[in-house]
Chains A and B, each alone.
Chain A
Amino acid sequence: MRCWKSLLSGLLLTLALMPARAEHEHLAQVTVLFFQHHIEQRQLMVDARVRIKLSTTQRDALEHDIPLYFITRFRLVEHSPLMGFIPWQRTVIEREVPVRLQRARLQGRWLLTNLRNGRQSEAETLEEALDILGTFSDIHLVDQAELHPGIDYRLRLRLQLDRNRLPAALWLESLTDPTWRLDSGWVEESVDQRKLWQR
């Protein structure tokens, strides 16, 4: 029994001493500057601008040629109470925009790759790259025909760092280290009925 107690203590000690980076390091910040929608050719489109400020840890990782993966989700949610009074919501559609940000050392640039369509963008600086990363224009969500008048629709946006696509060795650290967190949380915007149904 004593042997097992020692082993358990050792394991707990190892977990406790796992990289707990100094918390005074700058944390990542995500700010949604604007999140708007419009109808174009009977299609509901969204535009958004997100300001991303990476933490020192994340910048350090990028500087060391570790690519970071970001996922931006756009979700259209339908709010229609059941039997008139029970709160109920349904996701009408969700679009994901997965983007990889990495350093192209040979070219001396920052490379952004949209993993959904393979398109690449380049930027001279990291700030410029983050600016491109946080800019979304004319993201098509749904055909207007699929929507119904009189129903409350909400748009949601969330941008986060995909920690599951970090290098394997970093996963344990990213669990405990707050500087690895980058998540805007869900930002909600009501769909303007006038915009939706005006002719």
Chain B
Amino acid sequence: MNPLRLLRQYGPVSALTAVTLVALALLSSSLQQAASFAGTYATLLLTAAGGLIVLLALLVRTLWRLIRQVREHRPGSRITLRLSLLITSLVGAPVLVIYLFALQFLYQGIDAWFDVKTETALQNAVSLTRMTLDNQTRTLLNLTQSSAQTFATELDQTPALALDRLRKLLNAEEVALFSDDGQPIAFSTTSQTASALPHPPPENIVQQVRKGLTYAAIEEEGKGELRRAFYRVMIPLKLGPRPRMLQAIFPIPAEQTQLAETVQTALAQYQQRAYLRQPLKTAMAVSLTLVLLLALLSTLLFTIQLVSNFTRPIRQLTRATRRVSAGEMEPIRHEGPDNELGELIRSFNDMVRQLRRAQHTARVNHQQVEIQRAYLQAIISSLTSGVITLDSQLRIRLFNQRAEQLLGAPLEEAGQTPLPRLVEQGPFLALRPFWQQIAPLIHEAHGHWQLQLNQSTPSGERILLVQGTPLTSSHTGGHVVIFEDITDLVQAQRHAAWHEVAVRLAHEIKNPLTPIRLSAERLAFKLGRQLPEEERALLEKLTGTIVDQVVTMQTLVDAFADYARSPELALEPVDVNTLLEQMIQLYTRPGLTLQLDTDPACPQVEADPNRLRQLLHNLIKNGIEACEQQPEPTLWLASRCEGGVLTLSVCDNGPGLGEKELTWIFEPYATDKPKGTGLGLAVVKKIVEEHNGTIQVTRSGQRTCFMITLPLTHTR
């Protein structure tokens, strides 16, 4: 691991723990040393408490962050929290047990320091020492007093010699004679220092002795290593008229002083500790508790950091997995530690790279499939036949625009609804007859099937040729249905048939009609003069009937001849508006209203004028017949030239045509009139088609209109 990172992660807590630990160690040490004052203890205690508070604050902050991360579902936070608490519990429980035992041992240990016998022995030792010293003091006092009396005369006369002798007798260190105001008169000392002066007696002792009292006590002088104890004995003396004071200084052997002090110190310490027993227990317990808190706090902080570091690869893996699931195929940058987790990261990176390659391949394949699909769609769309593919659930998978046009349903909106249910819904009701007819074939057919069906549409009857094939080779199964409008084909076949009939009629029937008529007329002429009146009338009636029928048949044959005539047009410029005006004049008569509405913008049309005239003639005639039963029979003729197309319309106010009539109105010999050949409108349609035009019947209000459109490409 990076040393700087290590220092940043563990440095502050380590330093703080170390400082607090040192403070606690010194704290414990200060408690055990009697010389240590509360001031030092307080400083150390506050330092340790401060360190613990900072550690606690760090812990609270760390835990707060961790809990916030858990709430935000940050990767790895939950496991970090759990592992940290688990490890801390595992460590904390034994530490707590040790703490409790240590506390108990501490209390027992402190109690074990104290013993009644020890205290008594120490007190006795001190008493004994004190008694010994007191006895020695009294002995020296008595000895000094008795000796002073002995040397009283000499002390008055030759004080220096007397003091010297007295000192030797008393075995004193120093003997001095003072006046009653404390001024030294003479002295004798064992000290070799020439300038040495006698120990000056304190003022209070001088006053005490001046009053006639004696003084004998142990005193100390000097500092440090020079410190020593000695007996000071001071007694009043009556030497003549002048009061004097005699002071004797007796040394105390250092060993004796040390022993006495040792005994005194031992008792003093014992007494102190006895007094401090309970406070010491409390202070020790507080110190131990602080140590416990330090251990737990630092353990928890270190554990959280340690677990956080340990789970870093897991966090990286989780984040990377989320990225991958979001489609971002990025490997983890850091390779991770040199352990199983690092191996896991490396494996993950390998997997991501493979996934990336696979994704790329899939994308390429998908693009190819899309291209193929678009290609197929283009092919299907360009087909003039309608195509629908169904899957195994009979849902529409593919269709083209022609299919929508032929079926008259918005297949785009079919969605995932199976066709059997789809045909029950509003916009798809038009599909129901189609589906009802092909459903048995789809369900039962095992191979290619074909069906021709009639379909009713608003523009008339339509004939569809439907072919289907099961998609057995496909994994998903299904069916493909192809259908096309063969209405024109069927009608063309019919026209061809009728044309053949017309040709045969014209050829086979028209020729014999003239001899039949001539023969009938000759028969009537020749035999009419020879027969009686009654028979002659019968003959004329019969021959008249023959002639009439022959005329009728000739008319019929002429009509068929017109229909069968070959489409060889004699094209020339035709002024359509003029033609319409001529036609109006031709048919103008009382009881019939003819209205003309021409477009002056219409140019001359390249057409066969005779055929065009016949076309108008047939339509006007058809219109007059249609509206002759109306109270005010009216015809409207109009021309319009727009968008390169000439539109001629012939309208009438007749009763109009039914839906079924529209399907056969242009077929030969299809008439509902008692008279007529039934070829009029068939001829009209033939002439229109010869001129590359179209014709359709519309109903607008009370008008039934035949609308003829002719291209103006041949316009001059």
A residues lining the B interface (CB < 8 Å): 3-4, 7, 10-11, 14-15, 18-19, 60-61, 63-66, 103, 105-108, 118, 163-174
Inter-subunit contact B130/A106 (CB<8 Å): yes
Chain B contacts with A in 543-558, Cβ cutoff 8 A: none
Q: Roughly how many angstroms separate A19 CA and B275 CA in the complex, as a whole number?
A: 13
B residues lining the A interface (CB < 8 Å): 30-31, 33-34, 36-42, 45, 88-89, 92, 126, 129-130, 133, 217-218, 223, 260-261, 263-264, 267-269, 271-272, 274-276, 278-280, 282-283, 285-286, 289, 292-293, 296
The residue that B38 contacts in the complex, of A4, A7, A61, A167, with Cβ under 8 A, is A167
Shortest Cβ distance from A174 into B: residue = B38
A residues less than 8 Å from B282 (CB atoms): 18-19, 169, 172-173
Contact A165 B39, CB 8 Å, known A3-B92, A10-B289: yes
Inter-subunit contact A172/B279 (CB<8 Å): yes
Inter-subunit contact A171/B41 (CB<8 Å): yes
Q: Roughly how many angstroms separate A11 CA and B285 CA in the complex, as a whole number?
A: 10
- For the complex formed, measure the closest distance between the CB of A30 and the CB atoms of chain B, giving whole angstroms: 20
Shortest Cβ distance from A121 into B: residue = B204
Q: Can you offer 12 A-B residue contacts whose CB atoms are under 8 A? A: A11-B293, A60-B275, A106-B263, A165-B37, A166-B37, A168-B36, A168-B40, A169-B276, A169-B279, A169-B280, A171-B45, A174-B38
A residues less than 8 Å from B279 (CB atoms): 19, 167, 169-170, 172-173
Shortest Cβ distance from A165 into B: residue = B37
- For the complex formed, measure the closest distance between the CB of A78 and the CB atoms of chain B, giving whole angstroms: 31
Shortest Cβ distance from A60 into B: residue = B275
Inter-subunit contact A168/B275 (CB<8 Å): no
Inter-subunit contact A7/B264 (CB<8 Å): no
A residues less than 8 Å from B269 (CB atoms): 65
- For the complex formed, measure the closest distance between the CB of A167 and the CB atoms of chain B, giving whole angstroms: 6
The residue that B293 contacts in the complex, of A7, A15, A105, A107, with Cβ under 8 A, is A7
- For the complex formed, measure the closest distance between the CB of B690 and the CB atoms of chain A, giving whole angstroms: 101
Shortest Cβ distance from B29 into A: residue = A168
Q: Roughly how many angstroms separate A174 CA and B88 CA in the complex, as a whole number?
A: 36
A residues less than 8 Å from B40 (CB atoms): 168
Inter-subunit contact A61/B289 (CB<8 Å): no
The residue that A14 contacts in the complex, of B31, B263, B289, with Cβ under 8 A, is B289
Inter-subunit contact B129/A171 (CB<8 Å): no
Inter-subunit contact A19/B278 (CB<8 Å): yes
Contact A105 B276, CB 8 Å, known A14-B286, A166-B37, A171-B38: no
- For the complex formed, measure the closest distance between the CB of B700 and the CB atoms of chain A, giving whole angstroms: 88
B residues less than 8 Å from A14 (CB atoms): 285-286, 289
A residues less than 8 Å from B39 (CB atoms): 164-165
- For the complex formed, measure the closest distance between the CB of A96 and the CB atoms of chain B, giving whole angstroms: 15
Inter-subunit contact A165/B38 (CB<8 Å): yes
Inter-subunit contact A171/B296 (CB<8 Å): no
- For the complex formed, measure the closest distance between the CB of B602 and the CB atoms of chain A, giving whole angstroms: 99
Inter-subunit contact A7/B276 (CB<8 Å): no
Q: Roughly how many angstroms separate A108 CA and B34 CA in the complex, as a whole number?
A: 22
| A-B interface, 9 closest residue pairs, ranked by CB to CB distance from nearest | A171-B38, A164-B39, A168-B41, A64-B275, A65-B268, A64-B271, A169-B280, A169-B279, A65-B271
Q: Roughly how many angstroms separate A105 CA and B217 CA in the complex, as a whole number?
A: 14
Shortest Cβ distance from A177 into B: residue = B279
